Amino acid sequence: MKDLLHISAAELTELGIVDWGYTSETVPRSFEKFKKWLPDNGAKLPFMALEKNVNYRSDLKAWWPHARSAVVFLFSYAPAKKALLEEKQYRVAGYALGFDGEDYHTVMKERLHLIGRKLQEKYPLQFRHSHDTEAILERDLAYRSGLGWFGKNALLINRQHGSYFMLGSLIFDQELELETNSLSADHCGQCRACIDACPTDAINIETRTLVAAKCISTWTIEDRSAESPAPVGMEKGRGEVFGCDICQDVCPWNQKPIAHIKPQLGTRAREWMRWFERPFDEIANDVLPLTNRAYLRLTSGTALGRPGRPSFIRTLSFWMKKN
C-alpha cells in the first residue's frame, strides 16, 4: 500500500486500512441500476427508498455541493473473521466482531476524521466522511477509485484483499494531486460458489444484486418486524442471528488473503463470540427478561443492537424451533 500524501502507508496500516483509492468522478456509474433495483427491494430497506436519499445518491454534489473528489479506504476485519472461522462461529457476521468488538461506525468515523485532520494540517481543504451511514453509493465510489469489482454476490471484491472489509470515504471540496487507479476488471468468471451456497436464493445472478426479502442479513438486521417470517430456506443456514457471511466464506477471492492473515479477536469481541455460541435457548433466557431499553444497554457500543430486542428474539425463536 502506498503513502497518502503526507500520511505514510505504515500509519494507514495502524488504522486497519489495507488499501485506498482516489477518484474525482462524482457521478456513480451504477445509479440507474440502483433505481431499477429499488422498487422491488426498498420496502425492506426503507432508508434507501426515501426520495431525498435517492437524489443524494445520484451525485456526490447532490449530497454535498462542494464535493470534488474522494479517497476510499478498505478497513479490514479479516483477522477477526479468520478467528471466527477457526472457531466455526458463523452466527454473527464477521464485521460485527471485528474492530475489537466495537461498533464499526464509531471506529471508522474516528479514524476517518483523524486522516482528514492530518491532511488539513498540510492542505487548505474541507472534507466530509462517509462510512455506511450516508446516502452515497459507496460500492460504486470504491469501484470508481479502482478498488475492486462488483461480485456476483453484489459485494465489492478486491483482487488482493477479497471482501472482508468495510468501506470508508473522505469526500473533499477540491481535487487532490493523487494518481488514479485503473478500473478493476471482473474476475468472477464462471464461478457460482456464492450463488450455489446461498440457502435462500437471495442472489440475482442476472443483475448481480441481492433480493432484500430473501437475504438473511436483511432479515436478521434490518427487518424490525417481530412477526416477519424468515426467508424460505433459512433453515439450511448455519444458525445466523446477526447478518450472514455465507456468500463471502465460499468466495475463492477470500481464501488466499485470509490464509496468510494471523487470527486476531479483541477481548470484547471474544466475549461476545462465547455469548453467541451457546445454545439458542440460553441466549433467549438472557434476553427475554430485558426491556427494550435494557437490551440496547447490553449491546451498547457494538453494532449488535441495530435489530432491536423484538426482532432479535424472533430470530432466536426461529432457530430454537429448528433445533
* Coil/strand/helix, residue 22: strand
Q: Are 167 and 17 in contact (CB under 8 A)?
A: no
59 is catalytic: no
Q: Which residues, other chains included, contact 163 with Cβ-Cβ below 8 Å and sequence gap of 6+?
A: 148, 151, 155, 156, 157, 248, 251, 253, 254
CA–CA dist 92, 202 (Å, integer): 18
**Which residue in the list 100, 132, 173, 201 is annotated as catalytic?**
132
Q: Which residue is associated with the grid cell 471484491? A: 157
**What one-character-per-residue DSSP string does 133-183 give?**
SSSS-HHHHHHHTTS-EE-TTSSEEBTTTBT-EEEEEEEESS--S-PPPPP
Grid cell locating 294 = 435494557
Active-site positions? 132
